[in-house]
A and B are shown apart, each in its own frame.
Chain A
Amino acid sequence: AQSVAQPEDQVNVAEGNPLTVKCTYSVSGNPYLFWYVQYPNRGLQFLLKYITGDNLVKGSYGFEAEFNKSQTSFHLKKPSALVSDSALYFCAVSSGNFNKFYFGSGTKLNVKP
């Protein structure tokens, strides 16, 4: 069975500090991994994706994610958090035949000034 786990319901970080939002996955075949962000009363917005190639993927708004095949993880990172980064973050995985996406339960990121 394919699944995504986000072990932290909430992450708190001070503005200017680095942040990490964790994601682990289980999928048969090669994974296609995505991060999305959701602001209040809005739909999800695409941040970045991993398909193949470099394990460190750079995305929008200064976010990056590190793919680790041996640990089946795809953690979202940012070197210096902003208050405006406060939102709900979702990790998602797609199977190789691209018909289904599986989402994690979401992690609420709180960045305090």
Chain B
Amino acid sequence: EAQVTQNPRYLITVTGKKLTVTCSQNMNHEYMSWYRQDPGLGLRQIYYSMNVEVTDKGDVPEGYKVSRKEKRNFPLILESPSPNQTSLYFCASARGGNNSPLHFGNGTRLTVT
């Protein structure tokens, strides 16, 4: 089954404790991206990657890192999480090209205390 898999689904952590949210897709998509969803703000793009070893900032990259060492994986790293990073996070992938819809994972709900 074609899918985008995120782990974990739920994560509670404390301020400053480094964490990684994993994302993997099995569709051989070139494009991958991370979003955070906050009430009233919709989805905001954190980082995106056009291909292996090619990453770039979205609209809200502060406090986040990503890597794209393999085509299928695109982990999101929070080196020193803070409470304002409490949010619902989505990974998405797309085939590439201007008209390709995004395929989303089921989300990771992160709480930073």
Contact of A103 among B4, B31, B44, B56 (CB under 8 A): B44
Q: Considering the chains assembled together, what is the distance between the CA atoms of A36 and B90 in angstroms?
A: 14
Over the window 26-68 of chain A, the binary record of Cβ atoms lying under 8 Å from chain B Cβ atoms (1 yes, 0 no) is 0000001010100001111110010100000000000000000
CB within 8 Å: A-B pair count:
65
Is B48 an interface position by the 8 A CB rule?
Answer: yes
Within 8 A of A (CB), among B38-57: 40-45, 48, 50, 56
B residues contacting A by CB (< 8 A) are: 4, 31, 33, 35, 40-45, 48, 50, 56, 58-59, 90, 92, 96-107
CB distance from A58 to the nearest CB of B (A): 15
A interface, CB within 8 angstroms of B: 4, 6, 9, 32, 34, 36, 41-46, 49, 51, 90, 92, 94, 96-106
Determine if A101 and B99 form an interchain contact, defined as CB atoms under 8 angstroms apart.
Answer: no
* Cβ contact within 8 Å between A51 and B102: no
Residues A49 and B105 in contact in the complex (CB < 8 Å), given A99-B56, A101-B45, A103-B42: no
- Chain B neighbourhood of A34, CB < 8 A: 101-102
Question: In angstroms, how far is the closest chain A Cβ from the Cβ of B23?
Answer: 11
Closest to B43 in A: A103
Q: Which of A4, A32, A42, A104 contacts B107 (CB 8 A)?
A: A42
Question: Which of B33, B45, B90, B98 neighbours the largest number of chain A CB atoms within 10 Å of its CB?
Answer: B98
